[in-house]
Structure 1
Amino acid sequence: MRVFAELLDRLSYTPGRNAKLTLMADYFRAAPDPDRGYALAALTGRLDFATAKPAMIRGLVEQRVDPVLYGWSYDFVGDMAETVALIWPERPGANRPPELAEVVERLSTASRSDSPRLVEGWLDALDANGRWAFLKLITGGLRVGVSARLAKTALAQLGDAGLEEIEEIWHGVTPPFTEVFAWLEGRAAAPAIDLRRAFRPLMLANPLDEAELENFDPAAYRAEWKWDGIRVQLAAGGGEARLFSRSGDEITQAFPDLMGSADFDAVLDGELLVARDGEIAPFNDLQQRLNRKRVTAKMLQDFPAHLRVYDILFDGDEDLRAQSFDARRLRLEAWYAAVQPARIDLSPLLGFGGWDDLASLRETARARSIEGLMLKLGDSPYVAGRPKGPWFKWKRDALTLDTVLMYAQRGHGKRSSLYSDYTFGAWRTGEDGAPELVPVGKAYSGFTDEELLQLDKWVRANTTERFGPVRAVKPGVVLEVAFDAVHRSKRHKSGVAMRFPRIHRIRWDKPVEEADRLPDLEKLIEG
Structure 2
Amino acid sequence: MQAFADLLDRLVLTPSRNGKLRLMAAYFAAAPDPDRGYALGAITGDLDIPNAKPAMIRGLMDGRMDAELFALSYDYVGDLAETVSLVWPDTRGANRTPPLSDIVETLNEATRAETPRLVAGWLDGLDATGRWAFLKLLTGGLRIGVSARLAKLALGEFGGKDVTEIEEIWHGLAPPYESLFAWLEDRAERPSPDIAAPFRPVMLAHPLVPKADRDNPDAVDPALITAEAFAAEWKYDGIRVQASAEHGTRRIYTRTGDDISHAFPDVVAAMDYEGTLDGELLVRNPDGTVAPFNALQQRLNRKTVSKKQMETHPAFIRAYDLLVDGKRDVRGLTFRERRERLEHFILTVESDRFDLSPLVPITTLAKLDDARLDPPAPEIEGVMLKRWDSAYLAGRPKGLWYKWKRDPYLVDAVLMYAQRGHGKRSSFYSDFTFGVWREKDGADELTPVGKAYFGFTDEELKQLDAFVRANTIDRFGPVRSVTANKETGVVLEVAFEGLQRSPRHKSGLAMRFPRINRIRWDKPTAEADRIETLEALLAEQGQ
TM-score by length of 1: 0.95
CA contact (8 A) 1:78 1:469 kept: yes
Task: Name 1:60's counterpart in structure 2.
Answer: 60
Q: Deviations over 1:174-231 (max 9, x none)?
A: 1111111112222222111346411111111111114411234342000000011111
Task: Determine whether 1:241 maps to 2:250.
Answer: yes
Task: Name 1:443's counterpart in structure 2.
Answer: 452
d(CA) in 1 for partners of 2:180 and 2:225?
42
- Shifted more, 74-83 versus 237-246: the winner is 74-83
CA contact (8 A) 2:196 2:249 kept: no
Residue identity in the other structure for 2:529: D
Task: Name 1:501's counterpart in structure 2.
Answer: 514
- Shifted more, 387-396 versus 95-104: the winner is 95-104
The DSSP-based 3-state class of the residue aligned with 1:64 is coil
Task: Determine whether 1:284 maps to 2:294.
Answer: yes
d(CA) in 2 for partners of 1:367 and 1:248?
29
Task: Determine whether 1:332 maps to 2:334.
Answer: no
Matches within 5 A, 1:3-402: 3-93=3-93, 96-194=96-194, 196-211=196-211, 212-275=221-284, 276-365=286-375, 367-402=377-412
Residue identity in the other structure for 1:482: A
| TM-fit CA distance, 1:524 | 1.9
Q: Deviations over 1:247-288 (max 9, x none)?
A: 111111111111001122101100001114532111111111
The DSSP-based 3-state class of the residue aligned with 1:26 is helix
Q: Deviations over 1:411-452 (max 9, x none)?
A: 22222222111101112222x322211111111111222222
- Shifted more, 449-458 versus 156-165: the winner is 156-165
Task: Name 2:218's counterpart in structure 1.
Answer: none
d(CA) in 2 for partners of 1:171 and 1:231?
18
d(CA) in 1 for partners of 2:160 and 2:50?
36
The DSSP-based 3-state class of the residue aligned with 2:172 is coil
Residue identity in the other structure for 1:68: E
CA contact (8 A) 1:485 1:524 kept: no
| TM-fit CA distance, 1:348 | 1.1
Residue identity in the other structure for 2:458: D
Residue identity in the other structure for 1:8: L
After superposition, the Cα gap between the structure-2 partners of 1:494 and 1:113, relative to the gap in structure 1 and judged at 3 Å, is farther
Structure 2's unaligned 5+ residue stretches are 212-220
d(CA) in 2 for partners of 1:24 and 1:407?
37
Residue identity in the other structure for 1:61: M
d(CA) in 2 for partners of 1:244 and 1:111?
33
| TM-fit CA distance, 1:106 | 3.1
d(CA) in 1 for partners of 2:112 and 2:406?
49
Task: Determine whether 1:479 maps to 2:492.
Answer: yes
| TM-fit CA distance, 1:160 | 4.3
d(CA) in 2 for partners of 1:238 and 1:417?
52
- Shifted more, 419-428 versus 57-66: the winner is 57-66
CA contact (8 A) 1:71 1:468 kept: no
d(CA) in 2 for partners of 1:94 and 1:414?
29
d(CA) in 2 for partners of 1:98 and 1:215?
59
CA contact (8 A) 2:26 2:158 kept: no
CA contact (8 A) 1:377 1:391 kept: yes
Q: Deviations over 1:142-189 (max 9, x none)?
A: 222322222212212343431111111111111111111112222222
Q: CA RMSD in A?
A: 1.8
Residue identity in the other structure for 1:425: G
- Shifted more, 145-154 versus 218-227: the winner is 145-154
After superposition, the Cα gap between the structure-2 partners of 1:373 and 1:250, relative to the gap in structure 1 and judged at 3 Å, is same
Task: Name 1:524's counterpart in structure 2.
Answer: 537
Residue identity in the other structure for 1:71: A
CA contact (8 A) 1:95 1:121 kept: no
Residue identity in the other structure for 1:199: F
Residue identity in the other structure for 2:305: V
| TM-fit CA distance, 1:377 | 0.6
d(CA) in 1 for partners of 2:203 and 2:417?
39
d(CA) in 2 for partners of 1:440 and 1:74?
28
d(CA) in 2 for partners of 1:238 and 1:127?
51
The DSSP-based 3-state class of the residue aligned with 1:131 is helix
- Shifted more, 255-264 versus 193-202: the winner is 193-202
Structure 1's unaligned 5+ residue stretches are none
Residue identity in the other structure for 2:128: A
| TM-fit CA distance, 1:110 | 3.9
| TM-fit CA distance, 1:327 | 0.9
| TM-fit CA distance, 1:474 | 1.0
TM-score by length of 2: 0.93
d(CA) in 1 for partners of 2:480 and 2:51?
31
CA contact (8 A) 2:45 2:141 kept: no
- Shifted more, 50-59 versus 497-506: the winner is 50-59
Residue identity in the other structure for 1:283: F
| TM-fit CA distance, 1:102 | 2.3
The DSSP-based 3-state class of the residue aligned with 2:228 is helix
Q: Deviations over 1:26-49 (max 9, x none)?
A: 221222211111111112121233
After superposition, the Cα gap between the structure-2 partners of 1:523 and 1:333, relative to the gap in structure 1 and judged at 3 Å, is same
d(CA) in 2 for partners of 1:487 and 1:515?
20
